[in-house]
Chain A
Amino acid sequence: MTPDKRIIAAVYHLSKDLGKHFKLQDINLQIANGEFVFLVGPSGAGKSTLLRMMYMDDYPASGQVVVGKFVSTRMRRKTIPNLRRKIGIIFQDFRLLEDRTVFENIALAMKVTGTGMGEIKRQMTEILTRVGLYHKRYDYPPALSGGEQQRVAIARAIANRPAVLLADEPTGNLDPAATKNILELLFKINAGGTAVLMATHDIDLVKSFGQRIIYLEEGRIVRDKEMIYVGDIRDRIDQSKVSRRAEMLSDHEITDGGKE
Chain B
Amino acid sequence: MKFNQFRYIIDESVGMLRRRMAANLIAVVIMGLSLLILAAFLLVTLNISGVIEKTSKETRVFIYLEDGTGEEVSREIYSRGMGIEEVEEVVFISRDEALANFRQALGEESDLLDALEGNPLPDAYRLKLKPGYIRSKVMERIAAQAAEWPGVEEVRYGRKWFERGEKLVRGFYIVDLALGLIVFLSVIFVISNTVRLTILNRRRAIDIMKLVGATNAYIQVPFIIEGALQGMVSSLLAGVLLFTLFQVAGRYIPGLVFIRTDAVSGFVVFCAALGALGSFSAMRRHLKL
Contacts and interface: CB of A to CB of B under 8 A. Distances in A.
Contact of B212 (A112, A115, A260): A112
Contacts of B210: 80-81, 84
Contacts of A115: 4
B137 interface: no
B208 A95 contact: yes
Given A81-B214, A81-B215, A112 B4 contact: no
B260 interface: no
B5 interface: yes
Contact of B213 (A77, A96, A97, A109): A109
Given A81-B215, A99-B19, A112 B2 contact: no
A114 B11 CA distance: 13
Contacts of B207: 95
B209 interface: yes
Contacts of B2: 114, 260
A5 to B, nearest CB: 23
Interface string A72-101: 000001101111110001000001110100
B257 interface: no
A112 B208 contact: no
A112 B215 contact: yes
Contact of B211 (A77, A89, A114, A116): A89
Interface in A41-94: 55, 77-78, 80-85, 89
Contacts of B26: none
A111 B209 CA distance: 11
A156 interface: yes
A174 interface: no
A116 B4 contact: yes
A84 B5 contact: no
Interface in B102-154: none
A113 interface: yes
Interface string B187-207: 000000000000000001101
Interface string B233-246: 00000000000000
A117 B212 CA distance: 17
B161 interface: no
B78 interface: no
Secondary structure type dominating chain B contacts: helix
Contact of B4 (A97, A117, A156): A117
Interface string B213-224: 111101000000
Contacts of B215: 81, 112
B208 A84 contact: no
Contact of B8 (A82, A83, A111): A111
Interface string B164-189: 00000000000000000000000000
A108 interface: yes
B209 A112 contact: yes
A8 B42 CA distance: 66
Nearest to A95: B208
A156 B213 CA distance: 11
A82 B214 CA distance: 9
B238 to A, nearest CB: 32
Contacts of A114: 1-2, 4-5, 8
Nearest to A99: B19
A108 B4 contact: no
Contacts of B208: 95-97, 108
Contacts of A99: 19
A96 B208 CA distance: 7
A99 B12 CA distance: 13
Interface string B26-60: 00000000000000000000000000000000000
Contacts of A55: 211
A55 B204 CA distance: 17
Contacts of A95: 204, 207-208, 211
A113 B211 contact: no
A108 B212 contact: yes
A239 to B, nearest CB: 35
Given A95-B208, A97-B205, A97-B208, A82 B213 contact: yes
B4 A84 contact: no
B99 to A, nearest CB: 86
8 contacts: A77-B289, A82-B213, A99-B19, A108-B208, A108-B209, A109-B212, A112-B214, A260-B2
Given A95-B204, A112-B215, 18 more contacts: A55-B211, A77-B289, A81-B210, A81-B213, A81-B215, A84-B210, A84-B212, A85-B213, A95-B211, A108-B212, A111-B4, A112-B213, A112-B214, A112-B218, A114-B2, A114-B4, A117-B4, A260-B2
Interface of B: 1-2, 4-5, 8, 19, 204-205, 207-216, 218, 289
Interface of A: 55, 77-78, 80-85, 89, 95-97, 99, 108-109, 111-117, 156, 160, 260
